[in-house]
Amino acid sequence: MPKKRGYHHGNLRQALVEAALQLIEVRGPTGFTLSEAAKQAGVTPAAVYRHFEGREDLIAEAARQGYEIFADLMQYAYDKGQPSALASFEATGRAYLAFARKYPGHYIAMFESGVPVNRTPELAKVAARARGVMERAANDLSQHIAPEKRPPPSMFSAHIWAMSHGVVELYARNSPGTQSPFSPEDLLETGIGVYLRGLGLIGQDA
């Protein structure tokens, strides 16, 4: 039998985060207790409070780690699309969907837990870094729009972020009552295409 891990386990804090992520993925952010997270990690409930004041603190740390992964993924997508502003912008939209598919526990902690991004300075900082990548991609692309028709980069990126989030929530998470004959990837790709055509950034026949 494996030995029960106690407080002095070398990476207890991370073990608790990983336990929480598994529970979040299965039960949602409010569907588990700290005691259950402790049990999942193989430690006593008292040990949890040496690292986290409560469940929201634990979820906030899961969200922070998720944003770190997310920001790095967004940056990678942006860099891969360079030097094309259009390719970089489209890649950041696709990266959102890819992240939600690969890291569902983190995604829920970040966007569905109700934990605000300004709960801790560290969480706010990394969330801003992730948003900044998409805004930079939007700013690069917006330079190809006539000034009188150019939306603010923050609005530009928010539109794509909202579209990506909607596709994830409705069609990539197996939500009850939501079905589409098209894949989430196709829905997002064509949606971005319609948006960019409306701004005159790609041809009507693209």
- What CATH number is associated with residue 136? 1.10.357.10
Tell whether 185 is covered by a domain.
yes
Q: Are 185 and 93 in contact (CB under 8 A)?
A: no
Q: Is 151 helix (H, G, I), strand (E, B) or coil?
A: coil
Tell whether 193 is covered by a domain.
yes
In this structure, are 63 and 130 located in the same domain? yes
In this structure, are 104 and 19 located in the same domain? no
Q: Is the pLDDT of residue 194 over 60?
A: yes
In this structure, are 68 and 127 located in the same domain? yes
> With bands split at pLDDT 50, 70 and 90, how would you rate the model's confidence at 12?
confident
In this structure, are 66 and 124 located in the same domain? yes
In this structure, are 65 and 137 located in the same domain? yes
In this structure, are 191 and 100 located in the same domain? yes
Question: Measured in whole angstroms, how far is the alpha carbon of residue 9 from the centre of its chain?
Answer: 29
> With bands split at pLDDT 50, 70 and 90, how would you rate the model's confidence at 183?
confident
Q: Are 196 and 188 in contact (CB under 8 A)?
A: no
For residue range 108-152, what is the model confidence (pLDDT) as tens digits? 999 988 899 999 999 999 999 999 998 999 899 888 888 888 888
In this structure, are 107 and 186 located in the same domain? yes
In this structure, are 147 and 94 located in the same domain? yes
Tell me, what CATH number does 17's domain have? 1.10.10
Q: What is the count of structural domains for the chain?
A: 2
In this structure, are 99 and 194 located in the same domain? yes
Tell whether 176 is covered by a domain.
yes
Apex 98 CA angle, 152 and 80, nearest 5: 65
In this structure, are 71 and 113 located in the same domain? yes
Q: Is the pLDDT of residue 70 over 60?
A: yes
Tell whether 138 is covered by a domain.
yes
In this structure, are 3 and 78 located in the same domain? no
> With bands split at pLDDT 50, 70 and 90, how would you rate the model's confidence at 203?
low
Tell whether 206 is covered by a domain.
no
Give the residue numbers spanning the domain of 9: 1-52
In this structure, are 45 and 137 located in the same domain? no
Q: Are 152 and 159 in contact (CB under 8 A)?
A: no
The dihedral built from the CA positions of residue 9, 15, 20 and 23, taken in this order, carries a sign that is negative
DSSP run (H or E) holding 110: helix 104-111
Tokens 């603190």 sit on residue: 57
Tell whether 104 is covered by a domain.
yes
Half-sphere exposure of 70 (CA within 13 A, CB side): 32
